Amino acid sequence: MKKKVVIIGAGFGGLAMGIRLQARGYTVSIIDKQAQPGGHAVQLRKGGYTFDMGPSLITAPGLLKELFALGGKSLEQFLTLLPLDPYYRVYFWDGSFIDYTGDSERMKAQIAVLSPGEERAYDAFMHRSRAFYGAVIEQGLGARPFGWRELIFFLPKALRLGALRSSYALAADYFRDERLRFLFSFHPLFIGGDPFQAPAVYQMIPYLEKREGVWYAIGGMHAVAQALTRLFIDMGGMIYLETEAKRIRVEKGEAVAVQTSQGELPADIVVSNADFLHTVRHLYPEPYQWGASRERWMSYSMSAFLLYLGLRRTYPERLPHHTIALGPRYRGLVKDIFRRKVVPDDFSLYLHAPTRSDTTMAPLGGESLYILSPVPHLRPGMDWKALSPTYVERILTFLEEKLHLQGVREEIEVLETFTPEDFALQRNCTYGAAWGPEPLLWHTAVLRPPNRSRRIPNVFFVGAGTHPGAGIPGVLLSAKATEVAVTEAYPLSLAPVPV
Ligand SMILES: Cc1cc2nc3c(=O)[nH]c(=O)nc-3n(C[C@H](O)[C@H](O)[C@H](O)COP(=O)(O)OP(=O)(O)OC[C@H]3O[C@@H](n4cnc5c(N)ncnc54)[C@H](O)[C@@H]3O)c2cc1C
């Protein structure tokens, strides 16, 4: 009976996997090289300012609630979630904006102002988005390993729904105005994808947001990671931070232990929540390791340049809780980032101003402003130590001149950055790509790295690198899929059935 599980990585995927397997009766240990749990969802505290360093939008809270129920608890015992309305404000390149919300009537009224007549397409677009959601979420395709059987079931439907065309092409079927085409095609960027290449099935996200809302957890996203960690420990799980996996030890074709920076942990089952290529290239021992030729087959997602500003004041009239501020180019910018892989001269930004909902995140009257600029993943010769100071200056100029955050430079008390090099060094993200394998057609479903290793039978994957993909809802679903894979392959004879 294989019972002892070691999970490499305490991201949302690793934590959810730990909770699920612990609830099933396995004995689970999680290790992570970072000093805090949460993976990308760690927190930076400086000068009284608190910054969530990675994810900030909570969607599909139902998936989180399921985890607390597995531990016999409720989410509300650990966390306070606030619904956000609008979900985010989008400033277009011409200065116009939309407060994006799940309320159809308010959306249609705003669309009618931007491009009269096009509001009529909104319901039809959402209907299409709902159909994708139905296939992936309601029919459970995202929550179980995706094999050939699932493909045979899904393919005719996917073709009928146009789920394999690009996200942008889908939006262009409904909207003529380029601003609206952006608004209804950009969602793949949330999961590290190129809207001009990512299959339209990822356009289930608008409906997912509309159905379940966009939320904020008091204390920030890291508070959610901490709550999951507490739940996991309460359930009997063990977590070791500042412990880096160096190698999975394999004997007679099966993993028997994880060698770490702190010693060896014996394992009957190993689950990697670390970056996929990092696992198969550096944690697999010879002769199981992937070679360079296999690696070339994979396309990796974009990266991000992050700027964290502790400001003495807030800008509520310009910045609601979440803001997207677009530069002049859409297709060209995306092409530079994803296909040409050059650091462009212009950018679009995503901003998070948490004190709009939670004043504990900054000193009284101040703001912990988080700014994300999508950038290409690392290429030879790209040196972010050299690029960073100029990049910061350009972002500050954009904030002043395009976003009209007047005098923002003078209000800065804290300034920190996180670059693609940091993603590579601190979290072992291959090429510093923060979202793992790119969500392209040939990295989707049966073509994405599987939930169970094809080379070492008792090694599994969970998180952004495996099926169904990145984004917190995606990685929480991947934990469900990998739970199915583990329990089918290595059932416990007396496994308790979770409620
Ligand atoms: C800047 C940014 C903003 C985002 N915003 C959102 C958002 O608003 N909403 C949303 O839903 N999603 C968002 N995402 C996506 C989402 O955060 C990720 O897809 C998700 O958190 C990934 O979780 P994961 O469990 O796959 O792994 P990760 O969070 O990547 O965690 C993997 C962990 O493995 C550890 N690790 C790696 N190698 C080793 C090793 N050898 N030994 C030990 N530990 C190791 C790493 O230290 C890390 O802690 C964002 C992502 C980024 C980068």
pLDDT tens digits, one per residue of 477-487 = 999 999 999 99
Distance 40 CA to ligand 1 centre (A): 4
The whole-angstrom separation of Cα 389 and Cα 374 is 16
**In this model, does residue 498 exceed pLDDT 70?**
no
Instruction: Give yes or no for a contact between 475 and 16, defined as CB atoms under 8 angstroms apart.
Output: yes
Supply the pLDDT for residue 494: 55
In a domain, 292, yes or no: yes
- Give me the mean pLDDT over the 282-310 stretch: 92
Residue 468, ligand 1, Cβ within 6 A: no
Give tens-digit pLDDT for 249-290.
999 999 999 999 999 999 999 999 999 999 999 999 999 999
**Distance from the CA of 101 to the center of ligand 1, in angstroms?**
26
| Token pair of 166 as six digits | 């690009």
Instruction: Flag the least confident range among 53-62, 149-158, 351-360.
Output: 149-158
**Domains contained in the chain, number:** 1
Distance 11 CA to ligand 1 centre (A): 5
The rounded mean pLDDT for the chain is 95
12 lines ligand 1 (CB under 6 A): yes
**Is residue 366 within 6 Å of ligand 1 at its C-beta?**
no
Q: Is 188 in the pocket of ligand 1 (CB under 6 A)?
A: no
Q: What is the predicted pLDDT for the residue at 274?
A: 98
Is 372 close to ligand 1, i.e. is its CB under 6 Å away?
yes
- Nearest residue (CA) to ligand 1, atom 46: 427
Lowest average pLDDT, out of 78-82, 121-125, 126-130, 442-446, goes to 442-446
Is residue 246's pLDDT more than 70?
yes
The DSSP-derived string for 124-140 is HHHHHHHHHHIIIIIT-
Question: What are the tokens at 40?
Answer: 């990308």
Angle, helices 205-212/120-133, rounded to nearest 10 degrees: 90
Residue 397's CB is within 10 A of a number of other CB atoms, namely 12
Q: What does each C-alpha distance from 374 to 27, 51, 217, 342 come to in angstroms?
A: 39, 18, 24, 11
Buried b (16+ CB within 10 A) or exposed e, 53-64: bbbbbbbbbebb
Local structure of residue 279 (DSSP, 8 states):
I
Torsion sign over Cα 441, 330, 169, 95 = positive
pLDDT at 427 over 70: yes
The answer to whether position 224 is within a domain reads yes
pLDDT of 147 reads: 87
Residue 320's pLDDT is what?
Answer: 97
The reported pLDDT for the residue numbered 148 is 87
Kindly state whether residue 15 falls inside one of the protein's structural domains.
yes
Q: Is 221 in the pocket of ligand 1 (CB under 6 A)?
A: no
Flag whether 96 is in a domain: no
Number of helices and strands in the chain (H, E): 15, 20
Distance from the alpha carbon of residue 493 to the mean position of ligand 1, in angstroms:
33
What is the model's pLDDT at position 211? 96
Say if ligand 1 is within 6 A of residue 229 CB. Answer: no
Q: Give the pLDDT band (50/70/90) at residue 496.
A: low
DSSP for 337-354, written as a single string: IIII----SS--EEEE-G
Distance 405 CA to ligand 1 centre (A): 30
Nearest residue (by CA) to ligand 1, atom 35, is 9
Give, using CA atoms, the residue closest to atom 39 of ligand 1.
274
499: pLDDT strictly greater than 70: no
Query: CA–CA distance from 15 to each of 131, 238, 406, 443 (Å)?
Result: 30, 11, 41, 24
Ligand 1 binding pocket includes 464 (Cβ within 6 Å): yes
CATH number at residue 459: 3.50.50.60
For tokens 């939008």, the residue is 57
Measured by CA distance, the residue closest to atom 27 of ligand 1 is 11
Ligand 1: centre distance to CA 211 (Å): 25
Residues 184-229 pLDDT 10s? 999 999 999 999 999 999 999 999 999 999 999 999 999 999 999 9
Residue among 344, 308, 350 nearest 326 (CA): 350
Phi, psi torsion values for 392, nearest 5 degrees: -60, -45
Length of the chain: 499
Nearest-atom index, ligand 1, CA of 34: 47
Q: Which residue is closest in CA terms to ligand 1's atom 6?
A: 55
Instruction: Please say whether the beta carbons of 119 and 108 come within 8 A.
Output: yes
CA angle 441, 478, 168 (to 5 degrees): 30
Instruction: Report whether pLDDT(162) > 60.
Output: yes
CA of 491 relative to ligand 1 center, distance in Å: 28
Residue 234 lies in a domain: yes
Q: Return the ligand 1 atom nearest residue 282 CA.
A: 41
375: pLDDT strictly greater than 60: yes
With beta carbons less than 8 A apart as the criterion, state whether 303 and 433 touch. Answer: yes
Cα–Cα distance, 494 to 297 (Å, whole number): 42
Highest averaged pLDDT of the listed ranges 71-80, 144-153, 486-495: 71-80
Q: What percent of the chain has pLDDT over 70?
A: 98
Residue 92 scores a pLDDT above 60: yes
Domain around 483: 4-40+217-298+439-489
Residue 345 CA to ligand 1 center (angstroms) comes to: 27
| 389 Cβ neighbours under 8 A, 6+ residues apart | none
Task: Give the separation between CA 248 and CA 269, rounded to whole angstroms.
Answer: 11
Residue 10 has pLDDT above 90, yes or no: yes
Q: Which two tokens stand for residue 484?
A: 């199915």
Q: Which atom of ligand 1 is nearest to the CA of 243?
A: 43
What whole-number distance in Å separates Cα of residue 213 and Cα of residue 219? 19
223 Cα–ligand 1 center, Å: 15
Considering the domain boundaries, does residue 53 fall inside one? no
379: in domain: no
What's the pLDDT score for residue 493? 67
User: 5: closest CA among 482, 326, 498, 421?
Assistant: 482
Judge residue 4's burial from the number of C-beta atoms within 10 Å of its C-beta, 0-12 exposed, 13-18 middle, 19 or more buried: middle
19-29: average pLDDT: 97
From 40, 52, 205, 422, mutation site for ligand 1 pocket: most ligand atoms within 8 A of C-beta: 40
Closest CA to 484 of 463, 460, 464: 460
SS3 432: helix
Residue 167 belongs to some domain of the structure:
no
Query: What tokens were used for 268?
Result: 């009957």
Q: How far is CA 489 from CA 14, 20, 60, in A?
A: 19, 15, 29
Task: Determine if ligand 1 sits within 6 Å of the CB of residue 434.
Answer: yes
Q: What is the C-alpha to C-alpha distance for residues 209 and 47, in angstroms, rounded to an integer?
A: 34
Closest atom, ligand 1, to C-alpha of 57:
8
Ligand 1 near 56 CB (within 6 A): yes
For ligand 1, say whether the CB of 224 is within 6 Å of any of its atoms: no
Q: Is the CB of 181 under 6 A from ligand 1?
A: no
Residue 13 beta carbon below 6 angstroms from any ligand 1 atom: yes
Residue nearest to atom 7 of ligand 1 (CA): 55
